[in-house]
Structure 1
Amino acid sequence: MGCAGSSPSKTEEATKKLQKPKPWKHPQALTMTELRRLRDEFWDTAPHYGGQKEIWDALQAAADADITLAQAIVDSAGVIVASADMTTCYDERGAKYELPKYVLSEPTNLIRDS
């Protein structure tokens, strides 16, 4: 416990509970194949945005996991979750990791491949 003006400790920030992303709509309807291509392209290039490759790997694993496992992954990797849907995260050194919604969930206007 701290005074009313104190900020949460890093431990409290790091244990922020993850939530499923809110429903969202892509500007144009995507097929599952197109969505997979976008995701693969993002994860292939993500380490070039800065930060540590190990954190990017942990974020990818968490994005592909169910919410309970995702929570365990980010906690064990020391990821500080700034937004509960994982769109903005930080590592312990303060590097920022921004994840687009399309790597975290499916859009509402997804077209299923036949």
Structure 2
Amino acid sequence: MGCFASRPSTSTSNNEPPNATSLPHNSSRAAINQPASSPSDPPSRTASSTRPNQPLRPPSPLPNSPSTPPWTRRFLESEREAFFDTRVTGSAEVWSALKLACECLRRGDVAQAQGIVDAVGLNVPDGRVAVGKQLRSNGREKKAGGVFDERGVKYEIPAWVVADPGDVVEEEGEEEKSGQEDAVMGEKGKGKEEDLGEKVTVRARLSDRGMDVSVRVGMGQTAAVIYREVQEKIGPRKVRLMYLGKVWSENKTLEELGYKEGDVVSAFVFDA
């Protein structure tokens, strides 16, 4: 996994780190119209190694949806996908890791989220991934939360990405439909040898050491084959494979996951 080395800023008047700022919920898709940060922009003088860092905290309860009427489960998931798909500032690799960490936090798996954050060298100064507001001692509000990468770039994530609003509307039939889809995927995973499809070489890049694990598989085989090969290399540690901003499900085939030969898959390695 690529890491960015800190270097002195060329400007003495700019002490604020670059900001990969989140947008309001109703304009997440509009982010594609904003200019991306130039690769030549100098990083902050404040390196990740010197910035305060705290263990991750469970996300705070979110009483209501960001707007009325209350969001449905389907709309909430759609907005979360749109949020990560439209980030144009910061590192794509970091956004992918944060997406995975947010999924862990929503499941209540803080330890796994912490492992992912640590694997890519991120700092969370107050332990809160999501941004919010806090009251100062003088009664004024201040912005809290957020994540910093090794260059000092700040990544801001809305609270509704990390936690479900308390008034989210669960639509009827969603759970039943999900169960049916899982059953279908299970049947596809039983494919015969002649259904394995075109053979390709998948390269999975390990986040903890930067080396690639190459696996020769058929496009009709599931990602579980890749997971097994990577697991043999890393031992008892855990791994999550991510490609084009999405986590690979073990029971989906490479064809279903949209893999193209020659692309590198990110393998986030973290402690169990």
Q: TM-score range by the shorter chain?
A: 0.7 to 0.9
Name the residue aligned to 2:91: 52
1:69 Cα deviation (Å)? 0.4
TM-score where L is the length of structure 1 = 0.82
1:17 to 55, 59, 67: 55
TM-score where L is the length of structure 2 = 0.36
Q: 1-side partners of 2:56 and 2:147: how far apart?
A: 11
Instruction: Return 24-33 or 36-45, whichever deviates more.
Output: 24-33
Could you tell me which runs of 5 or more consecutive residues in structure 2 were left unpaired when the two chains were aligned. 1-47, 131-145, 173-272
1:23 Cα deviation (Å)? 1.2
Q: Does 1:103 align with 2:161?
A: yes
1:67 Cα deviation (Å)? 1.1
Name the residue aligned to 2:103: 64
1:10 Cα deviation (Å)? 3.0
1:85 to 121, 128, 144: 128
Q: 1-side partners of 2:57 and 2:80: how far apart?
A: 20
Name the residue aligned to 1:113: 171
1:12 Cα deviation (Å)? 7.4
Aligned residues: 103
Q: Deviations over 1:1-43 (max 9, x none)?
A: xxxxxxxx937734x1111111112232111001001101001
Q: Does the CA contact (< 8 Å) of 1:83 and 1:89 recur in 2?
A: no
| More helix per residue | 1
Q: 2-side partners of 1:107 and 1:59: how far apart?
A: 19
2:119 to 76, 86, 90: 76
Question: Would the alpha carbon gap of residues 113 and 11 (structure 1) be closer, same or farther in structure 2, given more than 3 Å must change?
Answer: farther
Q: Does the CA contact (< 8 Å) of 1:81 and 1:90 recur in 2?
A: yes
1:83 Cα deviation (Å)? 3.6
Name the residue aligned to 1:5: none
Q: Which has the higher contact order (CA 8 A, sep 6+)?
A: 1
Q: Percent identity?
A: 34
Question: Would the alpha carbon gap of residues 94 and 12 (structure 1) be closer, same or farther in structure 2, given more than 3 Å must change?
Answer: closer
| More strand per residue | 2
Q: 1-side partners of 2:127 and 2:76: how far apart?
A: 22
1:68 Cα deviation (Å)? 1.0
Letter in 1 for 2:61: P
Name the residue aligned to 2:76: 35
Letter in 1 for 2:83: F
Q: Deviations over 1:27-63 (max 9, x none)?
A: 32111001001101001012x0x11111111101101
Question: Would the alpha carbon gap of residues 72 and 11 (structure 1) be closer, same or farther in structure 2, given more than 3 Å must change?
Answer: farther
Q: 2-side partners of 1:70 and 1:58: how far apart?
A: 9
- RMSD after superposition: 1.7
